[in-house]
Amino acid sequence: MDNYEKIIHDNLDRLYKNLPANLDRLLPGRRRKDLFRLKAFGQSCQIRPDGVSTGDAPETGVVGILITLYALHANEDPCMPTPFKAFQELPDSQPYVGAFASHTESILIPHVDAIEDNLALIFGTLNGELSTATEGGDLSIIVRPFPKIMLNYIFYRADDEFPASATCLFSNNALSFLPIDALADTGEYTSKKIIELIS
């Protein structure tokens, strides 16, 4: 068992030792005995006492850790989308800001046209929509990597004065549902999922 799998199993042990009676409603998801289903990163996920899977495949990496952390932090609060927050505005984000910019935002800059051409696929998979917020941008979309966490991606194409850019904002109370390092990873793996969808 590698380190990732050990963390997943430790998280599952913590979860099932003190399992909320209404975890299916808190996620939200569906329950059958000790098995919980929810949608994460555009896929149907299963949480069981012995492991996590996405689709039919065991999830033994970072995504599995994120799913178990989301379950551990499940609570009664609803998602409060606005005002969306930049990652660097979130408490204790400083150690992760550089990696977040390169792994979540910059990797999408070459793909803006393909993202715009594949909005129906992205929105259908990641439960998304065009943003009606006032942040601007040439393209602004909202996706949901977890049921209670929304990401608002804002893209600017290059012009005479500025290079192209991509910004990823978090729903206002995203920190209620994941710790800061896990939110950084959630941004990264959502961006990777978008690139996978359009490739």
Q: Are residues 60 and 158 in the same domain?
A: no
Q: What pLDDT is recorded for position 66? A: 98
Q: Classify residue 155: in a domain, yes or no.
A: yes
Residue 135 has a pLDDT of: 66
Q: What is the pLDDT of residue 51?
A: 97
Q: Is residue 80 part of a domain?
A: no
Q: Are residues 118 and 64 in the same domain?
A: no
Name the domain boundary from 72, 103, 118. Answer: 72
Q: What is the pLDDT of residue 134?
A: 65
CA diameter of the chain: 59
**Burial category of 55 from C-beta neighbours within 10 Å (exposed 0-12, middle 13-18, buried 19 and up):** exposed
Residue 78 within a domain: no
Is residue 162 included in any domain, yes or no? yes
Q: Which domain holds residue 150?
A: 85-198
Domain assignment of residue 112, yes or no: yes
Classify each residue of 96-133 as buried b or exposed e, where b means 16 or more C-beta atoms within 10 Å of its C-beta: beeebbebbbebbeebbeebeebeeebbebbbbeebeb
104 shares its domain with 51 = no
Question: Could you tell me if 56 and 130 lie in one domain?
Answer: no
pLDDT for residue 162: 87
Q: Shortest CA distance to 39 belongs to which of 50, 27, 31, 48? A: 27
3-state secondary structure of 193: helix
- Amino acid letter, 126: L
* Pair 65, 103 in one domain: no
In the chain, the number of structural domains is 2
Based on the fold, state whether residues 89 and 170 are members of the same structural domain. Answer: yes
My answer on whether 109 and 174 are in the same domain is: yes
Q: 110 and 165, same structural domain? A: yes
pLDDT tens for each residue of the chain, 199 residues long = 689 999 999 999 999 999 999 999 999 999 999 999 999 999 999 999 999 999 889 999 999 999 999 999 999 999 999 999 999 999 999 999 999 999 999 999 999 999 999 999 999 999 999 998 666 789 999 999 999 999 999 999 988 888 889 999 999 999 999 999 999 999 999 999 999 999 9
- For residues 62 and 116, membership in a common domain is answered with no
Tell me, what's the pLDDT at 13?
98
Indicate if 107 and 168 belong to the same structural domain.
yes
- Residue 17 phi/psi, 5-degree rounding, is -70, -25
What pLDDT was estimated at residue 33?
A: 94
